[in-house]
């Protein structure tokens, strides 16, 4: 998994007053939990661009003074009006200790149902996974080539290797909805079968009459 390096400044003053001062200075207040003690730091907003504003799952390599730790985002807070990033909680990666992380879903191929006129709908773009750091994948890759109209891929269909998926097993990840004018292969096959049966029946009736 790719990592983003962040150079942070230690925070020794806490509370909303000091957090506001950090934000006015263009910094984001952060806390790293999961180690021997929480690490409070701040860093320029732009330092988090490649970590927060991306579809990829990445870890953070945070350096504060003489201390460097690997961590993953646990929680993000944005301003309700400006949508500005205002706080980040991290969880430190410790060897052998499971962590929870949102991993993006990547779809591969062209759904059969879409080729037949259906509409592809992505319901879950990320899955919540729990595993030891080395077992977390960069993405959940799904082949949708055989996905037909009215069919879905659910969480239970994902093969987990070394990680636990925390989403409900029945939750739909991606589905193909029927659109106006769309023809499912099963329906098309049934119609063709009915037409062939009708033609064969007509031919048999004609032959009987001729005899």
- Give residue limits of the domains in the chain: 3-94, 102-186
Q: What is the DSSP letter of 46?
A: G
- Give the pLDDT confidence of 151-185 residue by residue, as tens digits: 999 999 999 889 999 999 999 999 999 887 666 66
Distance CA 48, CA 87 (A): 11
CATH topology of domain 102-186: RNA Polymerase Alpha Subunit; Chain A, domain 2 (2.170.120)
pLDDT in tens, 87-102: 999 999 999 999 999 9
Q: pLDDT-derived band of residue 202, with 50, 70 and 90 as boundaries? A: very low
Q: Which residue has the tokens 């950090």?
A: 22
Nearest CA to 51 among 62, 64, 60? 60
Same fold flag, 3-94 and 102-186: no
Instruction: Write the CB contacts of 34 (distance below 8 Å, at least 6 apart in sequence).
Output: 71, 90, 91, 92, 93, 94, 97, 99
Homologous superfamily in CATH for domain 3-94:
Ribosomal Protein L25; Chain P (2.40.240.10)
pTM: 0.76
Number of H helices, E strands in the chain: 4, 13
């Amino acid at each position: 998994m790719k990592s983003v390096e962040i150079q942070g400044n230690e925070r020794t003053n806490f509370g909303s007053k000091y957090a506001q001062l950090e934000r006015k200075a263009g910094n984001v207040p952060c806390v790293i939990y999961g180690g021997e003690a929480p690490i409070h730091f701040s860093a320029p907003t732009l330092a988090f661009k490649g970590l927060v504003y991306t579809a990829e799952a990445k870890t953070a390599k945070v350096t504060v003074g003489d201390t460097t730790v690997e961590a993953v985002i646990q929680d993000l807070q944005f301003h309700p009006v400006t949508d500005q990033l205002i706080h980040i909680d991290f969880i430190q990666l410790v060897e052998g200790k499971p962590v929870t992380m949102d991993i993006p879903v990547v779809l591969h191929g062209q759904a059969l149902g879409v080729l037949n006129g259906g509409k592809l709908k992505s319901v879950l773009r990320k899955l919540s996974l729990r595993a030891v750091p080395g077992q977390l994948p960069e993405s959940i890759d799904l082949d949708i080539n055989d996905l037909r109209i009215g069919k879905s891929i659910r969480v239970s269909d994902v093969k987990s290797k070394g990680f636990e998926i925390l989403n409900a097993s029945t939750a739909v990840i991606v589905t193909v909805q029927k659109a106006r004018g769309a023809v499912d292969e099963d329906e098309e096959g049934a119609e063709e079968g009915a037409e062939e049966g009708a033609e064969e029946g007509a031919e048999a009736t004609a032959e009987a009459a001729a005899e």
